[in-house]
Structure 1
């Protein structure tokens, strides 16, 4: 009887079951912040390509069960295509696509997740001559009409995509992430007027042709903007005339070559922040390999931010705390290279009163058993740790934040206690249990 009842379930019920199995609140969302409200973890999840591939594999397994399940799986709105892996012809409802060619990651990026690798930028030139026909063939098959999210590489591919969009071939696109040193084309907003998310690794030096520099462009719905610059942020000038009335979250990455480039970059960014700052609720500034000195009037030009992520602040610089009425609640250390950044960060914020959460750049799995008690002085130790991470700084930060009533998270958004509880729930070896009492959770 039970078997008979299951076979008589309405198709709508089975479709709902499939959607629940294949759905992810962030990965298929062109506005990932709306899913969780946490910019630190949302964007890291959004760039989780291995998880996207896993969900797509699960969908393909379901479609092998029977003809009816195949029909349901093929109608699922949660389909992902990575042309670096294959060019499947049966996809008709693909929602997210990554247009590219499979390449080995540069050695210096292999320890990073996809989000961090995007921040660091690779200096390898993409094989755009091979990518261009992939973009054309994908769009012309008609498979792209339901695509909401696109990742692609190179100026030529971006230009080709815009040309196709202007003919009405990409009506649903709301999120674009572009890798490989590009410049903002003139027709970007005409081609994609409904963008809510834009990530762009910006080219070095002045563009060779006309860009947005001389024209105002209005992106009426853009909420998230990621810009990565190599050497310095001088090309932020290409975006100075953009009108972004709904911008909520801004991320700036700069591959500074020296301290002078870092200082100049802050000056370049200052004018842009004054334009877009009033609407921001989240801001992240990452300088690769150099210290940051924030603008002295930062709290005035970003009066609404509740989240601030920064890489290593300059030790010789005093970061003024936000005013008492300022809404900032979360401060994140987003440094990827300097293992002592946690200690430097705490010295800057130890007098701050409005924070509720501090997020660091480690993951708890990398913190070994610890014997130091909370009564010992903080940050008075020889820095140590693999891959530049000083684990003693992490423990000190945990103790100090706990004492102040601040939530202290790793880069995946977990407190120490939450991590330990999850390990115990999973039934795996609990390396951390011996330390729980010692660090007074």
Structure 2
């Protein structure tokens, strides 16, 4: 195995090691990174090779803009200027095969070099950012990707982004971004096929794990499909798990044996995030054996932030929740725009403990939406949903707050079925 020290890397955290590490990567095969701090700009991974990070090894992102790739370095890359994200990355692999990042070392995006953290969530978007890199790991249209056992932290933007890849294994990662990191996603899987994610612990300032369907930038557009996510622990001030964004299709995915704790939203499925005429179709998704401790455990909505009012709606269908336990204080929301937008959703062996009541608003003038600022007066609130099954669902009310009116409230919905449910407040169908 090649060693970066043999190519001139210093590893003192001060000297720039980009050139030396890149020479080792270009030589081919696996590259060993011994203990030390290697200050680097953009590094390009090659086929049939990658990085082997020893315990104590740190790849530290350079604070200098000139050390990173240009935004137009490949046609698939995209800068999100509205989010002050300029299309630069620390580790890059584009159209490569059999790429590996492994070991007990760290990849540190050096977020603090680009902006200070907000003290609380409301200040995150008010902080000006002059320049920052985009996704710390950018893996695009690659085949045979392995990312395992490393510690990824302090990403200035999303941490680990895989776009249009096939045959991906992500295992044993520890991702640690402070809670008020702006857009500090953990793992984003976009238009990828045959992906396994397991045994990861993620603390995130934004979504912990997302499945996306944005095929537009890819040379070979494809659905996001055949994804398994298991044995993970997630914590965030946003969505622990989210499906949505883009113009394509997300299907055939399972999520199991996951603990979500101390989070704003547990699971969020949303087809549309803007008024643009595009949306993601979401279908055949299974959630099982999951514990959720979040303000709102589950949201299944056609559009976020009023986006459902625009054109381009696509359905959410054939979604199952089995053996779910958790605690919440904001009602679960299943919200379509018209009958049939959301259909064939099942909840089996589900129990939630509910408290709070201070955010309950009955018939708000602008309706309910995906954010957790206000809550419907029910543990489950349905709007224009069809073929919904509640089987062995129990709501345990931890306080006798009269603002909670129902266990389930359904408006404009059809074929809502209840089997062996334990509801003390009952259900209302309107």
With the length of structure 1 as denominator, give the TM-score of the two structures.
0.34
Larger helix proportion, structure 1 or 2? 1
Larger strand proportion, structure 1 or 2? 2
